[in-house]
Structure 1
Amino acid sequence: MPNFTVPDDGQWNSKPAWKLPSWCEPLMVASILFFAMFMTRKRDFKIFRNSSGSGHLDGTSNGSMDHLLPLNIDSDWESDDITTAKNLPKARRICCWKVTTPNTSRFRNNLHSRILQRFPFLLEMFYWIINYAFYRMTSVLSSTLFAGRGIWDVSEEHGIAVLQAEEHSILKFLFLIRERDVQQWFMQGHQDALTVLNKCYALIHIPGTVGFICWYYYVAPSFNTFAIARRTMTLTNFCAFITFILYPCMPPRLLPKTYGFLDTVRHDDAQSVWMSGKFVNQLAAMPSMHFGYAFCIGMTVVYHSGLFRRTLERGEVRKNTFWKTFYLVVGVGYPVFILTTIVATANHYFMDAMVAICFVFISYLCNKVFYVFIPLEDLLLFMIRADKPIPTTGDRFHERGGRL
């Protein structure tokens, strides 16, 4: 039996936080996405008539993203992988293999193609909807896999095993602070701060991550740079999803009270709408995607500061001291704040954050694995009779002299 004082609900004296209406959070996320769609639109392109300037769709191959290939390699293409003349099939290179896929440039003047060309961020929105759908499946798949033993019992065993590993394994030197000590510190004299953290845990994760994707699509110096961050986050997601299914792990707040944790989020009535519903996976503590996202965002922001880069991208201007300091503080402070939040609210273990960091680094090194899905993307675009739009990433950035 663990040797510490077990808290009771009576120690939690703060009043329940004001609960947002159920429609508020989805509206918040949708507003961020559509605002980004508007801000990243191709301004010199008209949907219902031919337009002059770059990226026009006037019956030439310039309307397709493929014409960029001889000049640069973006997130989803490799040089010399494709032939577009006269709508010839595309020759995709995947490792040592070449795959032939339909050429969608013939559909560039279709109405929905022109809408995509006007608002290329719609494609990013589509990718993240798929990503979220995969997450919603993890609960069902994990429950099915462990139906014999019972998913709740299995996840409780795994949660206790994580605590024991932090205290007794060869890695215990990495975990000098105990999760319950962090929560107890907030509960004893700092409950107002914990109330704020409860609300932040519910509200920041999804809107903050979506907001980052929108912001970086707008300000990244090139689409290739943005796509590396996006692919890294997506691959981190899929690594986490596999772990959620194969290693369901109960968060500290759901462990038996003898382990010293209190579910302050529910006690404070601060649940997020994204944390409720039939397909929400409550037993997915390992790894912490709250922290995984935050760490990836933080490292990207630090990279964007240019502080630790000797060379800049083409057209990028060295930032002044204020902006370097600002991005450094945000890049370091955001992950630290999220780590404090997930531990103080007893939603995750420190080891969850450590595993998330490992997944981010692995995903960064292996992010080009998503190139294998390019032929599927070609086939999907062919099925819906649409052409892939030219991204606008970097357009506003270069218009402002590379200083964002």
Structure 2
Amino acid sequence: MAYLGQPRWWVEVLLIWGIYSAYSRVRNIGGKDIDRAFGNGRSIAQVEQHLHIAFEPALNRWVHVNGWVADLSALHYHTLHWWITIGVFVWLFWRRRESYRRASLVLALTTLIALAGFFLIPTAPPRMYPGYVDIMAQTASWGWWEGSGSPGPESVTNQFAAMPSLHCGWAIWCGVMIAMYARRTWVRVLGVLYPISTAFVVIGTANHYVLDVIAIVAVIAVSMAIVYMPWRQAADAVARRSVDSGKSVA
């Protein structure tokens, strides 16, 4: 398990290159099946109605009528997503080197699984349906972003990458890593609050459904289990039981 404890620069380069290549490919080939994307969005809304968790319209209206909340939500959505993720990534590499490898693998797995979701389940976000206010478009006149809130040109951005919410996925990853590895209590508290505020923002701005957030929580849980589960210890335990069983038979 020494590999997991000592990051190597060439592994980091390969990992980042692989994730970026996968992201670019999915981004460029996704977002073309419009009818399917809108159908999936309606299906998600129907499931939420059945589960009584469809509070996106009410939250979106409340954010819209409270201008300062809309402004802060737009800033949060467009800015913190990148800078906090990069900051936590760098902090782990420089200050928690012994934990960095596992943490970075969780982020990589989460991102790749989410990209698979974008490809397999293209989904139109709530803001594309009647009855919602596109908060990012409402604040796009500031000049910092396009109407979709995308950090890149809309012409090369997959607008139907809503399920699951990678925005929340990265925020949850940041929160979990800060809670696990930060020493100061107040820093850990902020780490926990960050993904909660992100979930509020992505739903309130009508960029994601509640189920998008629930789905990425499941993705994070799977990624954490894969990376942090003591596979070697489990394998050794199975091997020992097999040996003991063989001795008993003999």
The alignment partner of 1:366 has SS state of: helix
Aligned residue in 1 for 2:15: 127
Count of aligned pairs between the two proteins: 223
- Whether contact under 8 Å (1:137, 1:279) holds in the other structure is no
Pairing partner for 2:166 from 270, 289, 303: 289
Distance 2:28 2:97 in 1: 40
Distance 2:199 2:36 in 1: 25
Q: TM-score, normalised by structure 1?
A: 0.51
Deviation at 1:229, TM superposition (A): 1.0
- Whether contact under 8 Å (1:243, 1:286) holds in the other structure is yes
In structure 2, give the amino acid aligned to 1:160.
Answer: R
Aligned residue in 2 for 1:326: 186
Indicate whether 1:136 and 2:24 are aligned: yes
Deviation at 1:193, TM superposition (A): 1.7
The alignment partner of 2:3 has SS state of: coil
- Whether contact under 8 Å (1:198, 1:265) holds in the other structure is yes
Aligned residue in 1 for 2:93: 217
Distance 2:67 2:56 in 1: 16
Distance 2:40 2:113 in 1: 18
Deviation at 1:123, TM superposition (A): 5.3
Distance 1:277 1:125 in 2: 27
Aligned residue in 2 for 1:74: 3
Aligned residue in 2 for 1:17: none
Deviation at 1:299, TM superposition (A): 1.1
Q: TM-score, normalised by structure 2?
A: 0.80
- Whether contact under 8 Å (2:30, 2:158) holds in the other structure is no
Structure 1: which 4+ aligned runs deviate by more than 6 Å? none
Deviation at 1:142, TM superposition (A): 3.5
Pairing partner for 1:354 from 214, 229, 235: 214
Aligned residue in 1 for 2:136: 265
Aligned residue in 2 for 1:195: 71
Distance 1:221 1:230 in 2: 11
Aligned residue in 1 for 2:44: 162
Quick one: structure 1 residues 292 and 282, their matched pair in 2 at CA, closer, same or farther if it must change by over 3 Å?
same
Structure with bigger helix share is 2
Quick one: structure 1 residues 186 and 278, their matched pair in 2 at CA, closer, same or farther if it must change by over 3 Å?
closer
Distance 1:212 1:192 in 2: 28
- Whether contact under 8 Å (2:30, 2:160) holds in the other structure is no
Deviation at 1:368, TM superposition (A): 8.0
In structure 1, give the amino acid aligned to 2:217.
Answer: I
- Whether contact under 8 Å (2:84, 2:174) holds in the other structure is no
The alignment partner of 2:151 has SS state of: helix
Distance 1:249 1:289 in 2: 13
Quick one: structure 1 residues 132 and 278, their matched pair in 2 at CA, closer, same or farther if it must change by over 3 Å?
farther
Distance 2:90 2:213 in 1: 24
Deviation at 1:129, TM superposition (A): 3.9
Distance 2:39 2:18 in 1: 31
Moved more, 123-132 or 338-347: 123-132
Aligned residue in 2 for 1:231: 105
The alignment partner of 1:237 has SS state of: helix
User: What RMSD, in angstroms, separates the aligned Cα atoms of the two structures?
Assistant: 2.5
Aligned residue in 2 for 1:246: 120
The alignment partner of 2:2 has SS state of: coil
Q: Which runs of 5+ in 2 are unaligned?
A: 230-250
Deviation at 1:267, TM superposition (A): 2.5
In structure 1, give the amino acid aligned to 2:220.
Answer: V
- Whether contact under 8 Å (2:150, 2:157) holds in the other structure is no
User: Computing the radius of gyration over CA atoms, which structure comes out larger, 1 or 2?
Assistant: 1
Q: Which runs of 5+ in 1 are unaligned?
A: 1-71, 78-116, 144-149, 306-318, 370-404
- Whether contact under 8 Å (2:61, 2:133) holds in the other structure is no
Deviation at 1:206, TM superposition (A): 2.0
Distance 2:101 2:157 in 1: 28
Distance 2:169 2:138 in 1: 26
In structure 1, give the amino acid aligned to 2:134.
Answer: D
Aligned residue in 2 for 1:152: 34
Deviation at 1:167, TM superposition (A): 0.8
Indicate whether 1:337 and 2:197 are aligned: yes
Quick one: structure 1 residues 331 and 368, their matched pair in 2 at CA, closer, same or farther if it must change by over 3 Å?
closer
